[in-house]
Amino acid sequence: MRKSFSRIAIAAAATLGALATVPAHAGKTLDTIKQRGELVCGVNPGLAGFAAPDSQGRYSGLDIDYCKGLAAAILGDPNKIRYVPLTAPQRFTALQSGEIDVLSRNTTWTLTRDASLGMHFVGVNFYDGQGFMVPKSLNVTSAKQTKGATVCVQGGTTTELNLTDYSRANNLQWKPVVFDNQPATNAAYFSGRCQIYTTDASGLAAIRSKEAKNPADHVILPELISKEPLGPSIRRGDDEFFAIAKWVLNATLEAEELGITQANVDQMKRESKNPGIMRVLGSGSEDSGKALGLDKEWAYRVIKAVGNYGESFERHVGPNTPVGLPRGTNALWTQGGLMYAPPIR
């Protein structure tokens, strides 16, 4: 019995070793992106901190950094991207139809979306929850003090469903006023058509910072009534591209944990003898890119383009930005947060 077990163990180890050296076959999405010469990324038409164009039409934000990192990994250039602005009702159809390669548009990962809409979520790039914003003049400190109020909400979102559930569960008798897109929802709230605005708490902070004449005139109430794990997604049916899309996000988290930044990445690549850093940056003998169908410097290019996750967060939505969000649950697991990447090895 012992001899037989040893043979099995040796055979299994040999098989695993062989598998570890097999490069990934290029998937159809990866081939298409390379042939086209650009990544097509579906984004929010304008949500400060996540995806918003400037006066020249150049997009920036946390979700945009993901697209840039993906383009850098695949094409070697974070600017080889065509952005497709999408409303909430448009976004899933655009992904399903092949109009876009990846959806990076503050989208909540739910069972129904994951299992029945022909899409794969690649991970979470922002842990959020649904909240409520009211005019300070309303003089309330809790959503439960607003029975019978009108509530501005965007249709085709988890926000609309959560609003109905919360109102019914707490007998608030809210009157939803539903809009097809964010600009219309913003305009209705700030014109006084609704007493409450509800969406993801991060979205409320972004909208208040950009759209309010005086942000201090509006209060975000303390209640968070849902879990809203936001993240990018791709179409089902292409495992090779799915792996690349996942590991681009993971690379930014692993980089933060290892202390690799946009500023020091070149020095780290030249000088570090830390095996973990060498694996991420492709400076040693190990080649993590082979399993993804990429070269060994794929993650180096991601970090060179956008920095690590913490840098992206601080640059676009952190405490020193107009959006002004604390890291909170979006801190690394080593700092009491939920952000955790599987090891790159």
Identity of the residue numbered 21: T
**What pLDDT was estimated at residue 9?**
45
- Domain identity same for 119 and 141: no
**pLDDT at 243 (0 to 100):** 97
Rounded CA gap, 59 and 71, in Å?
14
CATH classification at residue 165: 3.40.190.10
- Whether residues 47 and 192 share a domain: the answer is no
**CA dist., res. 293 & res. 30, Å (int):** 9
DSSP state letter for 283: -
- β-pairing, 81-85 vs 39-43, is parallel
Task: Give which of 308, 328, 119, 344 is closest to 232, Cα–Cα.
Answer: 119
Say if 310 falls within a structural domain.
Answer: yes
- Residues near 250 by Cβ (< 8 Å), separated by ≥ 6? 123, 341, 342, 344
Which uninterrupted H or E stretch holds 252? helix 239-258
In a domain, 282, yes or no: yes
pLDDT at position 156 is: 85
**Looking at the structure, do residues 30 and 121 belong to the same domain, yes or no?**
yes
pLDDT of 25: 53
All residues at 6 or more sequence positions from 332 whose CB lies less than 8 Å from its CB, including other chains = 253, 256, 257, 310, 339, 340
CB 65 within 8 A of CB 312: yes
Domain span holding position 188: 130-226
- Does residue 91 lie within any of the structural domains? yes
Q: What angle do CA 153, 222, 186 make, to 5 degrees?
A: 25
Q: Positive or negative CA dihedral for 303, 328, 331, 117?
A: negative
User: Which residue is associated with the tokens 């602005």?
Assistant: 85
Strand bridging mode 126-128 / 59-60: unpaired
In a domain, 13, yes or no: no
pLDDT in tens, the chain (345 residues): 444 444 444 444 444 444 444 444 557 999 999 999 999 999 999 999 999 999 999 999 999 999 999 999 999 999 999 999 999 999 999 999 999 999 999 999 999 999 999 999 999 999 999 999 999 999 999 999 999 999 999 998 889 999 999 999 999 999 999 999 999 999 999 999 999 999 999 999 999 999 999 999 999 999 999 999 999 999 999 999 999 999 999 999 999 999 999 999 999 999 999 999 999 999 999 999 999 999 999 999 999 999 999 999 999 999 999 999 999 999 999 999 999 999 999
Does one domain contain both 238 and 209? no
Please indicate, yes or no, if residue 60 is contained in any of the structural domains. Answer: yes
Number of domains in the chain: 2
Give the closest residue to 157 by CA, choosing from 98, 200, 210. Answer: 200
Per-residue pLDDT, 27: 74
171 class by beta-carbon count within 10 Å (0-12 exposed, 13-18 middle, 19+ buried): exposed
Asked if 307 and 266 count as a contact pair (C-beta separation under 8 A), the reply is no
Is the same domain home to 78 and 193?
no
User: What phi, psi does 263 have (nearest 5°)?
Assistant: -75, -35
Q: What pairs with residue 40 in β-bridges?
A: 82
Q: Is residue 12, in this structure, part of any structural domain at all? A: no
Q: Answer yes or no: do 239 and 121 share one domain.
A: yes
Q: Is residue 47 assigned to a domain?
A: yes
- 238 and 212 in a single domain? The answer is no
Task: Examine the domain organization and report whether 105 and 243 are in the same domain.
Answer: yes
- Structural domain ending residue among the three candidates 193, 226, 259: 226
Contact between residue 206 and residue 49 where contact means Cβ atoms under 8 Å apart? yes
29 and 121 housed in the same domain: yes
pLDDT of residue 1: 46
Which of 226, 259, 288 is at the close of a domain? 226
C-alpha to C-alpha distance for 211 and 187, rounded to whole angstroms: 9
- Kindly state whether residues 84 and 163 are assigned to the same domain: no
Q: What is the pTM of this model?
A: 0.89
Domain-terminating residue out of 204, 226, 248:
226
The pLDDT of residue 61 is 98
Residues 238 and 107 occupy one common structural domain: yes
- On whether the CB atoms of residues 186 and 208 are closer than 8 A, the answer is no
Answer whether residue 119 is part of any domain.
Answer: yes
Q: Are residues 139 and 118 in the same domain?
A: no
Instruction: Identify the DSSP state of 236.
Output: S
